[in-house]
Structure 1
Amino acid sequence: MTRDQLRLKIPAGVRDLLPGEALRKRSLENDFEKIFRVWGYQEVITPTFEYYDVLSVGRGAEEDAQLYKFIDRQGQILTLRPDMTTPIARLISSRMRDDRFPCRIFYMANGFSCEDPQAGRQREFYQSGIELVGDGSPFADAEVIAVAVEILKTSGLRNFKVSIGHVDILYGMIEKMGLPEAQKGRIKAEVSNKNYVGLQELLDEFNVPVEGKEKFMQVITTRGDRGIIEEALRLAGNDKTGAALKALSDVYDALEAYGITANVEIDLGVLRGLDYYTGVVFEGYSAYLGFPILGGGRYDNLMEQFGFKCPATGFALGMERLLLSLEKEGGEIGAVPEPDYLILYEPSKAAQAFKKARELRDKGKIVITQLSREDRDTEILGRAGNIVIF
């Protein structure tokens, strides 16, 4: 590809947003901001890049390989942010630890991940999300899930579910089967990807007895309402998994109080990819994509990595994934509004034209002022609405 050809291209995994697309994204973000604020959340903005030692916290080897890294002139390794949770954990630990807790934070930002691009998965992406910091109760978990459900409803998406689980359901069952810590990552990856064939092959490879394997698969693949928890308790039979199921039941009770369980299901196989999650986790799915449009959960140990032990939970919504789901559900990209008035003017009448435009704009009208030219005025007059000529 020649240099001239390259100048008209953009790299793989990034995209331009045309006026209609940008308008719809901004409109959704404005709606989400209103929701976040009425729930008591306040906005923060963090740097687009930070030190690698900050943004690599809580990330496994696979996630670390997806970071965009570069070196500054002082030899420090810097990284484009892959999400907002870790930057906010650093921000609160370093600059807000003396604030009143719990504190509620929201953000709207872009992130970066060096993965193979495909529909709904870009190397640069946009997120909207919240973090509720300083409250370890099940009501805090329920609050962030309730906010997630509300913004999905507000977006106009009709067919969606939020699946909730707990990371210790899996980890407790791995302990019960006596598997070494080194094997946990491989099992976690297969569960996260819902690759149940590969998961059974792994359990065979690890020589898990048939009864233990059957119970494990039955629990991990179970989804439904609270009624599935009692059966899972019987099958799991260990304290860690039992405590996780009890915590999940408590959160579900709180979600019932919010009146949103019609949009929620318990999925005992829900996991999040990052290692910093410690408790209840959740993912939001539309009926049109095979991957989540939002995800989050509890990460009570993350801020301790920055010297500030404090419980926290939150979620992030992927804007591209939401927009793709809305498109597949039949929602059209909003048309760019046409101007209410077009003012054509001669150079000698510029002051009068600009004064008139200001009067109309003060009334909330969309006004374009344009220097009059005979070679195009005929075309403009033929397709414009309200025209003022000076």
Structure 2
Amino acid sequence: MRNARSASRGTGSHTAVGLLRALWKRYEHHCTQTDSCPCKLLKEDIFLQIEKQQTLKKITLSFPDYTPSDSVLPSLQPLLMALRDERYTHVEELNIRKLSLEQKDIVELCLLLERGGRTVYPIRLLELVDCKHSDWYLERLGKAVKSSFITTLCLDYTHMSEGLKGLLRGGLGASQIRSLSLCYCGLGSWSGTVLASLFTKSSVRELFINGNELQCVGATELLRPLALNSQKRAETLNMTISNTGKKTRKRRAKTESRPEVKGRPWLKKLHMFDNSIDDQVPSQLKLFMELICILVKFSSDLTELDLGENHIGEAGGKELLEALKERKAAKLSAIKIQVSTRMSTETFSAVLKNSKKLKSGKRKQQKTVQYLKSSNVFYCAFQVISIQLQLGCID
């Protein structure tokens, strides 16, 4: 019996190695045919898995060393052709970064994602980060995602105007997506209403929109249906169960999990880091904070809330603190929270004390000293000032 098992493992390993060698050979062939440069990172990943004698489940296509002056350009086409030719169906995660996507690329990618083809590719995570495209591409992608296995979609650094509406028209709301990331996509206050409509139709439970410009108006429109639904659900539960006793809390959890009680929309994670939410118009910030506090007080599903680099101020910090205390009194689970430090130290510390620490998520890459070196003048000035500070020549 033991020999049979080891023989079975050996056969599986041999199959994995053969599949990966064939995939790389086919990919190189298509790169030559299409005059595209092969991806060094993909080669490293494939040969690492060959050493391990395991299939490659996560494919990353990225060209960090590429410059626009290169004679041979990177392309998505060779990879898609190789996957289809070899019927390589082991990919679960597809990560594509900084590529200019042509119409043919989009069509081929969508055909690969959709379940309707002869061969099914069970890709569950798709990342298209900082890829140039047209608005048409997002609508077509929405249609493909609707009939795919994808549950996590990341479109960070993808500039969107009509593109967000195109995703919805394509059918994003009817997809299986649970986690949606649209960080640094140029989303303005107009997008709040569009995103709110998405929640009322879709199964999205995690939203990452860091580095956009929703401002108070857009963020308020986004939060309104979420806050009102969480309050309605809490009121429904309070009418059906009492608030005392251990057995009652168990009944509450069971009741809360029923489909008729747990209706849409609701979220587990909401990351709105750096969205220009501030007190320039106090009445707008007040309305935004009212909805945030309703969500914090009543949503038992919410586990993460990132409001970092949004300046809710001292008054907003105190409102949030009171909401956190009420949540604690209602015996709901603690939320991981991040807020701006632009409030008193006492209030900021109290907010953190009544919540869990949220680790830094997606942040825009910061300029480094290396950037300064690109300009000798600025770099020299930087060095001179640094030396003077060390010597105490300037305060």
TM over 0.5: no
| Higher percent of residues as helix | 2
TM-score scaled by structure 1?
0.21
- Alignment TM-score, normalising by the size of structure 2: 0.21
Higher relative contact order (CA 8 A, sep 6+): 1
User: More strand by proportion, 1 or 2?
Assistant: 1
